[in-house]
Amino acid sequence: MLPRRFLNISLCTILLAACSNTAPEGAKSQNRGKYVYTKECSKCHGPNGEGSGSAALGMSVSAPDLTGLQQRNDGYFPREFVRRFVMGRLEKDDPDSSMPDFSAIGLSHVYPIGGADGEVLETDFEELLDYLEAIQN
C-alpha cells in the first residue's frame, strides 16, 4: 500500500511541476522588456544596446552602450539609477540631451494609438529593466 501511495504522490508532484510557470515567467518578462526596448530605445541605443542605432548618427553625442552599465558600476546593475534617469527624475548633465523623458512622453511606440493613456506602465518599465539587466556584459 505504501509504495502505491508514494507513486501517486510522486506522479501528482511531477504533473503539478510541469504545469508551473515559474521558469518561463522570467523569460516572459525579458521578452516583453525586449519588445519595449526595441520599440522605444533601439533607434538610438542600437538593436543590441551597444549605442549604434540609426538615429544616433544624427546626434551630437553618442548614445551610451547599455550593455556595459553593470561593468561601469563595479559589477552592479544600477537599476534604480536607470529608472530615475529614463523617467526624467535626475538632472541631466546636458539639458539639451536627445534622451527623452519617458514620464512626459509615455511609451508612444509601444502604445501608438494611445493605449495606457500614453503613460509608462510600471510593469512595462520593470520588464524593460529586466531586459537591460539581462543584456549586461
User: Tens digit of pLDDT for each residue in 29-87?
Assistant: 789 999 999 999 999 999 999 988 888 887 877 889 999 999 999 999 999 999 998 88
Does 129 reside within a domain? yes
Does 16 reside within a domain? no
Does 102 reside within a domain? yes
What's the domain count of the chain? 1
Q: Quick check: 51 and 45 in contact, CB under 8 A?
A: yes
Does 89 reside within a domain? yes
What are φ and ψ of residue 78, in 5° steps?
-80, 65
Enclosing domain of residue 112: 22-134
Does 68 reside within a domain? yes
Q: What is the pTM of this model?
A: 0.74
Per-residue cell: 118: 500614453
Does 82 reside within a domain? yes
Kindly write down the DSSP assignment for every residue of 35-77, as one continuous string: HHHHHHTHHHH-TTSSS--GGGGGSSSPPP-GGGTTGGGTT--
Does 15 reside within a domain? no
Report how far Cα 67 is from the mean position of its chain's Cα atoms. 12
For the chain, what is the mean pLDDT? 79
Q: Which residues make Cβ contacts (< 8 Å) with residue 119, sequence separation at least 6?
A: 106, 107
Does 5 reside within a domain? no
Q: Quick check: 52 and 42 in contact, CB under 8 A?
A: no
The CATH number that applies at residue 49 is: 1.10.760
- Per-residue pLDDT at 25: 66
